[in-house]
Amino acid sequence: MSLLTLGGGCFWCLEAVFSHMIGVASVVSGYAGGNIDNPTYNAVCSGNTGHAEVIQIKYDENVTSVTELLDVFWEVHDPTTLNRQGNDIGTQYRSVIYYTDEAQHKEILSSLEKAKKMFSSPIVTQVESLDVFYKAEEYHQNYFKNNPNQGYCQVVIKPKVDKFKKAFKDKVLK
């Protein structure tokens, strides 16, 4: 199993999408890229810790690849908006990809170059080496699955999951 850590707005959205993808063993919501140890949700939301809301994907390289995961990433969020996804605004919602080794870094840079052709505005996604990943509080894990009728889930998350399922029919868990 391999790991890939992504930030693209609210971690609930990305977690919900990637939880439906074949080859993905688990998706954990958390925080990365900040300047304090063991951040809390409230601290991260203050915008003062430097952390991004991220997901850490554990995936089977024999079933899916970094490139395929990133194809989904580029499709389900807007990598051209700085520190924002929809109404979620702040550095904690930045578009970011954290790599764990040089081979993964090269795959990410290749995917980024390919993605630039998909957007009319410049991509602002940061690509950084993963230092530390902190798992978010338990109530953030599987948020969409556990709260499907909640307003944010219906208005923001469900359309992203539906978009993924439509665009990547061959990658959706049955």
Closest CA to 18 of 151, 123, 145: 145
Q: Are strands 52-59 and 2-8 parallel, antiparallel or unpaired?
A: antiparallel
Unique residue bearing structure tokens 């700085």: 82
Cα 45 off chain centre by:
17
Residue 82 identity:
L
3 state SS of 109: helix
Going 34 to 37 to 38 to 40, the CA torsion angle's sign is negative
Is 11 in contact with 140 (CB distance < 8 Å)? yes
Catalytic residue IDs: 10
HSE-CB at 84 with a 13 A cutoff on CA atoms is: 6
